[in-house]
Chains A and B, each alone.
Chain A
Amino acid sequence: AQSVTQLGSHVSVSEGALVLLRCNYSSSVPPYLFWYVQYPNQGLQLLLKYTSAATLVKGINGFEAEFKKSETSFHLTKPSAHMSDAAEYFCAVSGTYGQNFVFGPGTRLSVLP
């Protein structure tokens, strides 16, 4: 069975600062890993996903994540935060064909001017 933990339910950064959102997973099979973003009053939107092709995955809006098997981590980063990045971010893990698609509890990112 898969599970996901996200360290920090709320992260605040200043505009222009580095964004680092942490995700650790547990999986009994080689995982597929995802980051989704949810803006206020909207559905979840895919930011990026890891499917074993490359350990460093680039997504939309300047975000990227690195898969580290030894640390069972898939942290999300962005070099310079923008006010529009304020949202809730969810890490998720699944097996092949989408079964057991498990979401973490989410991290709310605030960007301070």
Chain B
Amino acid sequence: DSGVTQTPKHLITATGQRVTLRCSPRSGDLSVYWYQQSLDQGLQFLIQYYNGEERAKGNILERFSAQQFPDLHSELNLSSLELGDSALYFCASSSRTGSGNTIYFGEGSWLTVV
């Protein structure tokens, strides 16, 4: 158990809909990352937050957005969903202190768009 909690574990929704994925980082971790994993794209970095502020942005679509709340949990919002958005979405967290910070992954949220 990495200490990173993601909900829901599985989600099936229709095209055009909007979903929210939730992540609770490890206790004490200030940084949260979101990744998308699909068969054709591999593991893609979406976005990183640190202590409530956006720190880095990767291949995140404009239809997707995220935020990190004062209690440090994070949400990834996916809207106008398309079939190609079906993937496993991971949240990960890390602390700020220490060199070469390890990032710890949650179990992921499986999103199926039908």
Is A106 in contact with B100, judged by CB distance below 8 angstroms? no
B18 adjacent to chain A (CB < 8 Å): no
Is B42 in contact with A101, judged by CB distance below 8 angstroms? no
Is B102 in contact with A46, judged by CB distance below 8 angstroms? yes
Contact with A along B34-59 (1 / 0, CB 8 A): 01000000110100100000011000
* Cα separation A44 to B4 with both chains bound (whole Å): 11
A103 adjacent to chain B (CB < 8 Å): yes
The listed residue with most A CB atoms (<10 A of its CB), out of B42, B55, B92, B99, is B99
Chain B's closest residue to A96 (CB) is B99
Using a CB–CB cutoff of 8 Å, the interface residues on chain A facing chain B are: 32, 34, 36, 42-46, 49-52, 90, 94, 96-103, 105-106
Is B103 in contact with A98, judged by CB distance below 8 angstroms? yes
Is A101 in contact with B99, judged by CB distance below 8 angstroms? no
* Cα separation A52 to B99 with both chains bound (whole Å): 10
The listed residue with most A CB atoms (<10 A of its CB), out of B4, B33, B96, B108, is B108
Residues of B within 8 A of A103 (CB): 35, 42-43, 45
Is A99 in contact with B56, judged by CB distance below 8 angstroms? yes
Tell me which of B4, B45, B106, B108 contacts A101 (CB under 8 A): B45
Is A105 in contact with B42, judged by CB distance below 8 angstroms? yes
* Cα separation A98 to B32 with both chains bound (whole Å): 10
Is A97 in contact with B96, judged by CB distance below 8 angstroms? yes
Residues of B within 8 A of A36 (CB): 105
Is A101 in contact with B33, judged by CB distance below 8 angstroms? yes
* Cα separation A45 to B107 with both chains bound (whole Å): 10
Is B103 in contact with A101, judged by CB distance below 8 angstroms? yes
* Cα separation A52 to B90 with both chains bound (whole Å): 28
Residues of B within 8 A of A100 (CB): 56
B104 adjacent to chain A (CB < 8 Å): yes
Residues of B within 8 A of A44 (CB): 43, 90, 92, 105
